């Protein structure tokens, strides 16, 4: 199961980077969401609209070095920002031959708590480790925030580099959310004990907001 | 999936809406009408020509058919047990349009139809009297008779239907392509399926389907007339037979105009209920214990002998028995596969590949085996342990043999009436599903074709049957239809490749490659701590 999901999504799951002079800096994870070259990530990964790049991982099964000095990347344009739902839509600037599985977008509303989920990205990018990781857990809860945003809570701590990764339902191998970060209870409800740590839960916003961004650009969701 | 690929019932009652594919619609209609005129004018010549063609096809390309049906059966089984089994026709969120019971009723009514009724009795008796594997009239001959019958009506024909139906359903419902035979070649030809080669395939499928259904109807009403004459003494004439065609066509036209759900589904359900009642009737009044014993043994023998029988080609015997039986059947099922496959595809939205294959390959096969055992073994029981006389009746007149069989058991008047009703309802369900398939193809793959088009094809089907019945040439055109089995055999083999490629692409992982290397650039990476979220877009507003 995990192997299938990893194989299915690894090619479209990329490092998000920003050009800084002659170098690049790591910003987080982005993933291919449409065969027209659209990628989704979290809005809080984006610093500045210009000079954004993505770098895919080699899709071999060989052992990869933990660190690398250089990265081969390609330009992307920031197409839309949805700050309310913490999402950003990017598009590959150049022409690519893209294979995107049909029906890769799932149905978040019909995915119940308790469902298995996986997510893959680059958790240690900020530590200069640029390997792709896959993790699995369960949907712990589905909540609507005070800003009226549908959010999945899942058990497991998301590392900063994983923000923007696709949250994938294990049973039908479809993307149901975009990983946002660690869940901090005071963000959801600022009452009670403010210092209660919650390192065991993370959140992802529903993919339906990503679909809305794509459809606003005229992309047909298959 | 494109949203318009969902086979809804929209526009099904828009009478004045005529949305057709002009090349396929008028090309098929022109070819059919001109063929009928030529056949009626030159019936003898056309008959001789296609008879020779069919003989040559059996003699020189019999091995092609045997390879084809076996390759397709193995391919379909591999799909069922392989990694593509979880693919759902219509996409992961699709749900079946029809209940499982209605689904079985429709695919069974379209798939086997009338042949089961007549050959359920006749074929085992024919093989009991003569087959190449055993001395006629012996216990071994009886065992082989059912085994050969199971071969001809079992997994192989349903595997052909499964392949065609699966390819059409997948490319139509999952990829948003038109529900048409040409669609199955999209992975190979791409957009060229919309050109002349796609038109030719669709015209060939339309013509073969119409001639197949119309000639069956024309020849079938002669058999019904013979049966009715045997039962009621009404005589046999072309007037009665044309009246039967008119009646059957009228009901079929009503059914196809009413649509899939309100017409064809209901008639199929009624048909299956009546057919099962007849089978239950014979099962209970006939040699019940013998039938139960035989069913188990027949299935076991079939499973044991399947590899041997399905690859046997009388190479060492140098006889021609197989031409008239096995090769004929393979050509016949292949020629019918576009029609039955298209119909099954149309009603199978929302099933997974595994459910679909289990439902289309195994369930009808088991039902067919039960049916053949009830009727065939009852006939053999009479021959082996009873009064006999069935062999003579079968060799004399196949449809009448059914009623001769009924006459050997109590309440034969009831079973005979039930038999006639089942014959007629099977004709109606074959006719309406055939019309629906032609409507879909000639309207460019629209799963809910316009009403005017449905009306046209349903009536044309009856008119062709009546014209050939009166003018002559029914057998000639039926033989011509069977000869289309050869080109369709190659089309089906192409479909296996196409479907495999389609499934592979569908489940392929995400990948992208640059069209030119100059679009990639290599940069040195600068280390930086995690982002300060207050300097980025989003995040805080989420909560």
Residue B7 scores a pLDDT above 60? no
Tell me the range of B38-42, B279-283, B525-529 where mean pLDDT is highest: B279-283
Choose among B97, B100, B82, B264: nearest CA to B173. B97
ipTM of the complex: 0.77
The whole-number average pLDDT for the span B449-453 is: 84
DSSP A104-123: -B--GGG--TT-EEEEEE-T
Chain A CB within 8 Å of residue B318 CB: no
Angle between helices B328-346 and B43-81 in degrees, nearest 10: 60
Which residues does B162 contact at the CB level (< 8 Å), separation at least 6? B76, B341, B344, B356, B357, B360, B361
Q: Kindly determine whether residue A126 and residue B528, on different chains, have CB atoms separated by under 8 Å.
A: yes
Distance CA B181, CA B28 (A): 14
| pLDDT at residue number B119 | 85
Residue B12 scores a pLDDT above 50? no
Residues of A in contact with B350 (CB under 8 A): none
The whole-number average pLDDT for the span B395-408 is: 84
Give the least confident one: A56-60, B57-61, B435-439, B483-487.
Answer: A56-60
| pLDDT at residue number B519 | 65
Choose among A154, A155, A175: nearest CA to A166. A175
Distance CA B309, CA B156 (A): 12
Residues of B in contact with A188 (CB under 8 A): 543
> How close A192 comes to chain B (CA, Å)?
17
DSSP state of A157: P
Give SS3 for A77.
strand
Q: What is the pLDDT of residues A31-46, one digit of tens each?
A: 999 988 999 999 999 9
Residue B2 scores a pLDDT above 60? no
Angle between helices B412-442 and B238-258 in degrees, nearest 10: 60
3-state SS track over B400-436: HHHHHHHCCCCCHHHHHHHHHHHHHHHHHHHHHHHHH
Q: E strand or H helix at B338, and its extent? A: helix B328-346
The residues pairing with B512 across neighbouring beta strands, listed in sequence order, are A98
| Number of residues assigned to chain B | 543
Distance CA B399, CA B377 (A): 17
Which residues does B182 contact at the CB level (< 8 Å), separation at least 6? B193, B194, B197, B198, B199, B201, B202
Q: Which two tokens stand for residue B443?
A: 């309207």
Q: Kindly determine whether residue B175 and residue A96, on different chains, have CB atoms separated by under 8 Å.
A: no
- Angle at CA B127, nearest 5°, toward B123 and B132? 145
Q: Which two tokens stand for residue B309?
A: 């029988």
The residues pairing with A135 across neighbouring beta strands, listed in sequence order, are A119
Choose among A180, A13, A151, A111: nearest CA to B533. A180
pLDDT interval class at B225 (50, 70, 90): confident
Percent of chain B with pLDDT over 70: 94
Q: What are the φ and ψ backbone dihedral angles of B228, each rounded to 5 degrees?
A: -65, -35
| pLDDT at residue number B14 | 46
DSSP state of B84: G
| pLDDT at residue number B335 | 87
User: Which residue range forms the structural domain that includes residue B9?
Assistant: 3-505
pLDDT interval class at B258 (50, 70, 90): confident
- Which is more confidently placed, A155 or A66? A155
Task: Using CA coordinates, name the residue in chain A closest to B538.
Answer: A83
B521 within domain boundaries: no
Give SS3 for A89.
strand
Q: Kindly determine whether residue B175 and residue A87, on different chains, have CB atoms separated by under 8 Å.
A: no
pLDDT interval class at B9 (50, 70, 90): very low
Find which of A57, A61, A103 to mutate to test the B interface (most B CBs within 10 Å of its CB): A103
DSSP state of B508: P
Find which of A86, A123, A125, A149 to mutate to test the B interface (most B CBs within 10 Å of its CB): A86
- Which is more confidently placed, B223 or A75? A75
Q: What is the pLDDT of residues B331-376, one digit of tens each?
A: 989 988 988 898 899 899 999 999 999 999 999 999 999 999 999 9
The whole-number average pLDDT for the span B378-382 is: 94
Q: How far is CA A52 from the centre of its chain?
A: 16
Distance CA B142, CA B153 (A): 17
Residues of B in contact with A12 (CB under 8 A): 510-512
Distance CA A95, CA A77 (A): 13
On the 0-12 / 13-18 / 19+ scale of CB atoms within 10 A, B387 is exposed
pLDDT interval class at A195 (50, 70, 90): low
Q: Are B47 and B475 in contact (CB under 8 A)?
A: yes
Residue B250 scores a pLDDT above 50? yes
Indicate the pairing of strand A38-42 with strand A116-121: unpaired
Chain A CB within 8 Å of residue B528 CB: yes
pLDDT interval class at B525 (50, 70, 90): confident
Give SS3 for B57.
helix
Q: Are A183 and A141 in contact (CB under 8 A)?
A: no
Q: How far is CA B364 from the centre of its chain?
A: 11
Residues of A in contact with B505 (CB under 8 A): 99
Task: Show the domains of chain A with their CATH numbers.
Answer: 10-100 (2.40.10.10), 108-212 (2.40.10.10)
> How close B87 comes to chain A (CA, Å)?
10
Choose among B389, B418, B408, B379: nearest CA to B121. B379
Q: Are B460 and B451 in contact (CB under 8 A)?
A: no
Find which of A4, A44, A203 to mutate to test the B interface (most B CBs within 10 Å of its CB): A44
The whole-number average pLDDT for the span A206-213 is: 96
Q: For A44-66, b where at least 16 C-beta lie within 10 A, e where not — what string? A: bbbeeeebbbbbbbeeeeeeeee
| pLDDT at residue number B1 | 37
Chain A CB within 8 Å of residue B1 CB: yes
CATH number of the domain where residue B488 is located? 1.20.1740
Task: Using CA coordinates, name the residue in chain B closest to A13.
Answer: B510
Q: Which two tokens stand for residue A83?
A: 């700050």
| pLDDT at residue number A199 | 66
Measured between alpha carbons, how far is residue A145 from residues A109, A150, A168, B534 in Å?
Answer: 15, 7, 21, 19
Residue A77 scores a pLDDT above 70? yes
pLDDT interval class at A194 (50, 70, 90): low
- Angle at CA B114, nearest 5°, toward B109 and B116? 90
Pick B92's closest partner by Cβ from A27, A32, A174: A174
Q: Kindly determine whether residue B542 and residue A97, on different chains, have CB atoms separated by under 8 Å.
A: no
Q: E strand or H helix at A174, and its extent? A: strand A174-182
B201 within domain boundaries: yes
Q: Kindly determine whether residue B531 and residue A128, on different chains, have CB atoms separated by under 8 Å.
A: no
| pLDDT at residue number B411 | 86
Residue B139 scores a pLDDT above 50? yes
Region of B529 please: left (phi>0), alpha (psi -120 to 50) or beta.
beta
Choose among A157, A161, A177: nearest CA to A169. A177
Average pLDDT over chain B, rounded to an integer: 86
- CA atoms within 13 Å, Cβ hemisphere of B183: 27
B33 within domain boundaries: yes
Total of domains in chain B: 1
The whole-number average pLDDT for the span A182-194 is: 71
Q: Which two tokens stand for residue A86?
A: 């913490």
Q: What is the pLDDT of residues B463-519, one digit of tens each?
A: 988 888 888 878 887 888 888 889 999 999 999 999 999 998 888 877 666 555 666
Distance CA B456, CA B6 (A): 25
Pick B536's closest partner by Cβ from A24, A44, A69: A44
3-state SS track over B476-543: HHHHHHHHCHHHHHHHHHHHHHHHHHHHHHHCCCCEEEECCHHHCEEEEEECCCCCCHHHCCCCHHHC
B402 within domain boundaries: yes
Choose among B144, B69, B131, B166: nearest CA to B360. B166
Give the least confident one: B29-33, B227-231, B388-392.
Answer: B227-231
The whole-number average pLDDT for the span B23-46 is: 89
Residue with tokens 């660690």: A182
């Amino acid at each position: 199961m995990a192997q299938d999901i990893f194989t299915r999504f690894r090619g479209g799951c990329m490092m998000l980077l920003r050009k800084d002079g002659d170098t690049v800096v790591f910003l987080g994870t982005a993933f291919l969401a449409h065969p027209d070259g659209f990628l989704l990530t979290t809005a809080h990964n984006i610093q500045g609209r210009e000079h954004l790049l993505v770098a895919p991982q080699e899709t071999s099964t060989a052992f990869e070095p933990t660190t690398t000095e250089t990265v081969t990347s390609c330009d992307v344009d920031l197409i839309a920002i949805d700050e309310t739902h913490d999402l950003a839509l990017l598009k590959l600037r150049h022409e690519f031959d893209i294979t995107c599985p049909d029906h890769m977008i799932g149905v978040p509303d019909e995915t119940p708590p308790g469902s298995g989920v996986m997510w893959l990205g680059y958790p240690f990018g900020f530590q200069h480790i640029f390997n792709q990781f896959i993790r699995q857990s369960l949907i712990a809860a589905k909540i609507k925030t005070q800003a009226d945003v549908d959010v999945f809570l899942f058990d497991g701590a998301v590392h900063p580099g994983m923000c923007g990764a696709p949250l994938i339902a294990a049973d039908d191998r479809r993307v149901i959310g975009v990983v946002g970060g660690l869940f901090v209870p005071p963000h959801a409800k600022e009452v009670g004990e403010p210092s209660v740590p919650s390192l065991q839960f993370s959140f992802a916003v529903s993919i339906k907001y990503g679909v809305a961004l794509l459809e606003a650009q005229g992309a047909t969701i298959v | 999936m494109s949203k318009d690929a969902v086979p809804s019932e929209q526009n099904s009652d828009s009478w004045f809406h005529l949305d057709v594919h002009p090349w396929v619609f008028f090309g098929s209609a022109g070819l059919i009408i001109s063929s009928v005129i030529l056949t009626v004018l030159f019936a003898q010549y056309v008959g001789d020509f296609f008879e020779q063609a069919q003989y040559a096809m059996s003699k020189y390309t019999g091995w092609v058919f045997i390879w084809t049906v076996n390759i397709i059966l193995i391919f379909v089984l591999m799909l069922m047990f392989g990694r593509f089994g979880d693919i759902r026709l219509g996409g992961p969120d699709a749900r079946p349009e029809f209940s499982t019971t209605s689904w079985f009723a429709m695919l069974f009514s379209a798939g086997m139809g009338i042949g089961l009724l007549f050959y359920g009795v006749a074929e085992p008796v024919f093989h009991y009297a003569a087959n190449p594997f055993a001395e006629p009239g012996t216990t071994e001959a009886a065992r082989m008779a059912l085994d050969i019958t199971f071969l001809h009506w079992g997994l192989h024909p349903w595997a052909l239907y499964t392949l065609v139906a699966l390819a059409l359903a997948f490319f139509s419902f999952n990829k948003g392509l038109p529900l048409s035979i040409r669609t199955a070649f999209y992975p190979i030809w791409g957009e060229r399926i919309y050109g002349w080669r796609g038109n030719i395939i669709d015209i060939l499928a339309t013509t073969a389907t119409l001639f197949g259904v119309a000639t069956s109807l024309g020849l079938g009403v002669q058999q019904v007339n013979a049966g009715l004459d045997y039962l009621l003494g009404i005589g046999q004439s072309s007037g009665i037979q044309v009246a039967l065609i008119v009646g059957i066509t009228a009901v079929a036209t009503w059914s196809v105009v009413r649509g899939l759900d309100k017409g064809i589904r209901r008639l199929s359900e009624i048909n299956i209920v009546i057919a099962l009642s007849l089978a239950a009737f014979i099962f209970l009044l006939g040699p019940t214990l013998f039938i139960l014993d035989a069913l188990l043994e027949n299935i076991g023998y079939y499973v044991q002998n399947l590899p041997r029988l399905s690859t046997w080609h009388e190479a060492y015997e140098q006889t021609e028995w197989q031409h008239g039986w096995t090769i004929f059947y393979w050509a016949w099922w292949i020629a019918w596969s576009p029609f039955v496959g298209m119909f099954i595809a149309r009603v199978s939205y929302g099933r997974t590949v595994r459910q679909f294959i289990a439902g289309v390959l195994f369930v009808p096969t088991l039902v067919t085996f039960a049916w053949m055992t009830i009727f065939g073994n009852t006939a053999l029981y009479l021959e082996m342990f009873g009064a006999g006389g069935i062999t003579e009746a079968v060799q004399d007149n196949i449809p009448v043999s059914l009623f001769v069989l009924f006459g050997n058991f109590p309440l034969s008047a009831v079973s005979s009436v039930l038999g006639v009703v089942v014959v007629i309802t099977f004709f109606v369900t074959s006719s309406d599903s055939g019309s629906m398939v032609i409507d879909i193809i000639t309207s460019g793959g629209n799963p809910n074709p316009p009403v005017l088009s449905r009306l046209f094809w349903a009536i044309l089907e009856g008119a062709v049957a009546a014209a050939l019945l009166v003018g002559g040439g029914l057998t000639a055109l039926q033989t011509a239809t069977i000869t289309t089995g050869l080109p369709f055999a190659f089309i089906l083999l192409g479909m296996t490749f196409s479907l495999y490629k389609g499934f592979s692409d569908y489940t392929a992982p995400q990948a992208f490659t640059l069209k030119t290397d100059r679009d990639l650039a290599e940069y040195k990476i600068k280390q930086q701590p995690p982002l300060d979220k207050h300097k980025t877009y989003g995040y805080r507003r989420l909560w």
